[in-house]
Structure 1
Amino acid sequence: MAKDKSGYIIAAAFIGPGTVTTASLAGANFGFHLVWALLFSIFATIVLQDMAARLGVATGKGLASAMKDMVSTPWLKMLFIALIVSAIGIGNAAYESGNLTGAAIGLDAFWEIGTGTWAFILGALAIALLWTGSYSWIESVLVYLVFIMAGVFFVTLVVAKPDISLMFSQLLQPRLAADSITTILALIGTTIVPYNLFLHASLVAKSSPNTDKTTSENPNTENQSTIKKNSDKSDAIKACRKQSATAISMGGLITLVVMATAMMAFFNQAATMDAGNMGEQLKPVLGDKAQWFFALGLFAAGLTSAITAPLAAAYAVCGALGLSDDMKSKGFRTVWLAIIVCGVAVAALGFKPLPAILFAQATNGLLLPIIAIFLLVVMNKSKALGDFKNTLWSNIAGVLVVSVVVGLGLYKLTSLFI
């Protein structure tokens, strides 16, 4: 599965309630003035996920294991482990609360028992699914639901007859100001998801051609085997790169369409968007049923991401601590269980839903530079990569991505004090 579907799993993982909510808020509040942030996010996601996948194929290891193995000094290795565990743990706990809150909003539109109660029920469902060690079938169903919702957004946009010239005009007038920086970071955080780097590397590592460890006393035979293995890795990397670029671009297009429909419904209009009327943007096609369909989409997107976020955290933490990454192992289950419990606790405390989701995405945007810098270092220093290390162009693209994200983060911190 990982070899054939990893790119689409990554795309489905970032098309969660945070994406739908953040893109809707961006379109409603800023029109197309922030599309530049989305376009940058798609480019950056393709660049970073390519590095993560290449690492997994070339070494047969996850990102956390590769980071840890790269360091030989004991105290520095412990620092690395602490940073990986804390960064992914904190980031995924925040992300999980947003996922569960988004799904709870959707269900509460059908049956009003409170988002806190729904978050508890959804957390229990996610625990039950992950405890079985086999979640792919339910994930596939939820991904289909998300893409069905995306199809309705596409149809809605066409029926609404958008003002293309206005959109293009706003696209050419990018905005970066104190009132938009949180939304910009949220757009970046909901697309370039740090935990997806760990998830992608681990998924492709399990199907890597690197798994053959046999050796031969005949140097010629061993050399031929090495050449064949490298050729297989190269082919796997090319296929993974093509699939990831296609899937991530598709996810970006869905996000763009959500922004466009929200812009048409709310930007410069008398009504303001909140949790109760987000589905209004679908009314041109679905009429009075728009809110219900939007709620169903939020539920599907939220539960999908609520499963993948703790799963990725388990891969990252277990890799860093040298624990088994078998889904049924005690350590693996402990990690994802802790993430879900934290997510449920935060979601059940009664925070306002839209700020909670936006905060989760912005948190990921601030944590991203830490993981991206580590990934860049690994892709240049790891001896296990061999011929599959970063090229000059990969490094230039990676440094550009990290520089922009760090710059935006510093701008956000500066705006808090000035």
Structure 2
Amino acid sequence: MSQTPVIEASQPAWKLAEPGTQRPSLPEAHASIHVPQDARWFRRLVAFLGPGYMVSVGYMDPGNWATDLAGGSQFGFSLLSVILLSNFMAIILQAHAARFGIASGRDLAQACHDHYSRPVNFALWLICEAAIIACDLAEVIGTAIALQLLFGIPLVGGALLCALDTFLILLLMNKGFRSLEAFVIALLIIIAACFGIQIAAAAPPMAEVLRGFMPSRQIVLRPEMLYVAMGIIGATVMPHNLYLHSSLVQTRAYPRTEHGRRDAIRWATLDSTIALMLALFVNAAILIVAATAFHGSGHEDVAEIGQAYELLSPILGLGIASTLFATALLASGLNSTVTATLAGQIVMEGFLHLRLPPWLRRLITRALAIIPVIIVTLLYGETGTARLLILSQVILSMQLPFAVIPLVQFVSDKRKMGGFVISTPMAWVSWGVAAIIVGLNLKLLYDTLLP
């Protein structure tokens, strides 16, 4: 059971809500997972493993596939540096989200509701909802494509089948939050294994791969490369993941004391860092496989998942390469379903204090994603869905500052965080990350509006 928070001098100075008015974040799972206090370090780590992996799902969802494929086939290994930079940003921001959720006892949406005016809150909610719909759009497209590749189901039919995943979420939630986390981790293992085999089959030139992790001026100077790079950042550092992580870490029943919170922050940060290193491997693997197979071989125009599926087996000389590719895509789409559902619930309850049944919330979000996929598919076919997939990731990137800036503002404010405030050097690094994101967005807007 959840323990009553003990407010000490060094703990956050958030204004407490009136009794009965402040619901805990994700109340059905709040403090529901036991954390052994006197066990060895490994058992304590295992108790905290889960939220980081659920968040990492958003860093390797179908949207990443489109941007990583486009980046690898068009520009070779050059954009590996963007993936590395994005992952570095993600590790910092998700650690801040975990710290904030544990230290303050509320999620980022609840904190924004308490701190900002009503018009600002409403605008932030709309922006975040748009981000979740853009993410859901990528999941619908990716899952529909995977179903088509593996089972021959038409794209429109696959998109409609995606609505059924609502029942999967309900089933897993009814079995307990640990079951939900186990499902996510199992699918992540499948994704990593599929790409591990493909990397081995591709046998990329390691010297070129390592050079790709070094930043290049061309990424900023070439608009077409910057567009894909922004898509990679948008697909990697997802705005709603910051809201999600600040809530998920509170599912652990750690002591709500200063020592208990500090211990929880340490384990939660380790959990998310390990999980995001797995996401780095998967994203880099997609781009490396695409660069090895397509760049310089006359297939630089491969930007669609279906094209990659058809070409991978013959080019790599591995009969199951295409099947592994599609299987990993399906696992990615199913996994992303779980986290988008929870993020939508957390954002709506936190900003608006409005609670809908999870199945209804999911159906509304899913419908808003399915409709444009069906329209684009009917009008433009598979090419249109591929472009829509990349566009959804660029939209996510444009919305990212509206989640990053409040988070960095809160965790670097000693008046709010008390003894849990981040250090001054880390605050400078965090504001630097926010400045890079804003700067790249402004550059992309300039190139888009004034070509």
TM-score range, shorter chain: 0.7 to 0.9
> Aligned match of 2:431 in 385, 399, 404?
399
CA offsets 1:291-322 (integer angstroms, 9 cap, x no match): 23322221111121123113202101211112
1:217 aligned partner = none
1:157 matches 2:199: yes
> CA 1:196 to 1:340, structure 2 compared with 1: closer, same or farther past 3 Å?
same
CA offsets 1:135-183 (integer angstroms, 9 cap, x no match): 7646644643443232232233233332222333444462321011221
1:297 aligned partner = 328
Provide the rounded CA distance (Å) in 2 between the counterparts of 1:93 and 1:64. Answer: 17
Report 1:53-92 matches (<5 A): 53-71=98-116, 76=117, 78-92=118-132
2:150 aligned partner = 110
Q: Secondary structure at the match of 1:269?
A: coil
Provide the rounded CA distance (Å) in 2 between the counterparts of 1:114 and 1:185. Answer: 30
Q: 8 Å contact 1:50–1:244 — kept in the other structure?
A: yes
- How many Å apart are 1:200 and its aligned residue? 0.5
> CA 1:343 to 1:210, structure 2 compared with 1: closer, same or farther past 3 Å?
farther
User: In terms of mean alpha carbon deviation, does 7-16 or 34-43 score higher?
Assistant: 7-16
- How many Å apart are 1:205 and its aligned residue? 2.2
Q: 8 Å contact 1:119–1:348 — kept in the other structure?
A: yes
Please list every run of 5 or more consecutive structure 2 residues that lacks an aligned counterpart in the other structure: 1-32, 34-46, 378-383
Q: 8 Å contact 1:24–1:259 — kept in the other structure?
A: yes
Q: Secondary structure at the match of 1:242?
A: helix
User: In terms of mean alpha carbon deviation, does 348-357 or 278-287 score higher?
Assistant: 278-287
1:260 aligned partner = 288
Q: 8 Å contact 1:59–1:385 — kept in the other structure?
A: yes
1:216 aligned partner = none
> CA 1:166 to 1:14, structure 2 compared with 1: closer, same or farther past 3 Å?
closer
User: In terms of mean alpha carbon deviation, does 95-104 or 345-354 score higher?
Assistant: 345-354
2:341 aligned partner = 310
> Aligned match of 2:167 in 128, 147, 153?
128
> Aligned match of 1:344 in 336, 352, 370?
370
Provide the rounded CA distance (Å) in 2 between the counterparts of 1:343 and 1:160. Answer: 34
CA offsets 1:240-287 (integer angstroms, 9 cap, x no match): 111211111121122112111111100111124233231334557773
1:45 aligned partner = 90
Provide the rounded CA distance (Å) in 1 between the counterparts of 2:195 and 2:232. Answer: 18
> CA 1:160 to 1:233, structure 2 compared with 1: closer, same or farther past 3 Å?
same
Provide the rounded CA distance (Å) in 1 between the counterparts of 2:70 and 2:182. Answer: 27
TM-score under structure 2 length normalisation: 0.80
Provide the rounded CA distance (Å) in 2 between the counterparts of 1:347 and 1:143. Answer: 28
CA offsets 1:96-139 (integer angstroms, 9 cap, x no match): 0111110100101133342122111112x222223444476466
> CA 1:316 to 1:286, structure 2 compared with 1: closer, same or farther past 3 Å?
farther
Q: Which amino acid aligns with 1:168?
A: L
Please list every run of 5 or more consecutive structure 1 residues that lacks an aligned counterpart in the other structure: 212-228, 325-329
Q: Secondary structure at the match of 1:179?
A: helix
Q: Which amino acid aligns with 1:335?
A: R
1:30 aligned partner = 75
Q: 8 Å contact 1:189–1:361 — kept in the other structure?
A: yes
Provide the rounded CA distance (Å) in 2 between the counterparts of 1:191 and 1:39. Answer: 10
Provide the rounded CA distance (Å) in 1 between the counterparts of 2:124 and 2:434. Answer: 17
- How many Å apart are 1:208 and its aligned residue? 5.7
Provide the rounded CA distance (Å) in 1 between the counterparts of 2:390 and 2:182. Answer: 26
1:181 matches 2:213: no
User: In terms of mean alpha carbon deviation, does 130-139 or 260-269 score higher?
Assistant: 130-139
Q: CA RMSD in A?
A: 2.3
- How many Å apart are 1:334 and its aligned residue? 4.1
Q: Which amino acid aligns with 1:257?
A: A
Provide the rounded CA distance (Å) in 1 between the counterparts of 2:334 and 2:388. Answer: 16
Provide the rounded CA distance (Å) in 1 between the counterparts of 2:293 and 2:406. Answer: 41
Q: 8 Å contact 2:194–2:325 — kept in the other structure?
A: no
Q: Secondary structure at the match of 1:277?
A: helix
Provide the rounded CA distance (Å) in 1 between the counterparts of 2:260 and 2:227. Answer: 43
> Aligned match of 2:306 in 267, 273, 276?
276
Q: Which amino acid aligns with 1:93?
A: I
1:354 matches 2:386: yes
> CA 1:121 to 1:278, structure 2 compared with 1: closer, same or farther past 3 Å?
same
Provide the rounded CA distance (Å) in 1 between the counterparts of 2:375 and 2:159. Answer: 10
Q: Secondary structure at the match of 2:223?
A: coil
Provide the rounded CA distance (Å) in 2 between the counterparts of 1:293 and 1:380. Answer: 44
1:241 matches 2:286: no
Q: 8 Å contact 1:20–1:258 — kept in the other structure?
A: yes
Provide the rounded CA distance (Å) in 2 between the counterparts of 1:341 and 1:278. Answer: 28
2:446 aligned partner = 414
Provide the rounded CA distance (Å) in 2 between the counterparts of 1:382 and 1:126. Answer: 42
Q: 8 Å contact 2:293–2:312 — kept in the other structure?
A: yes
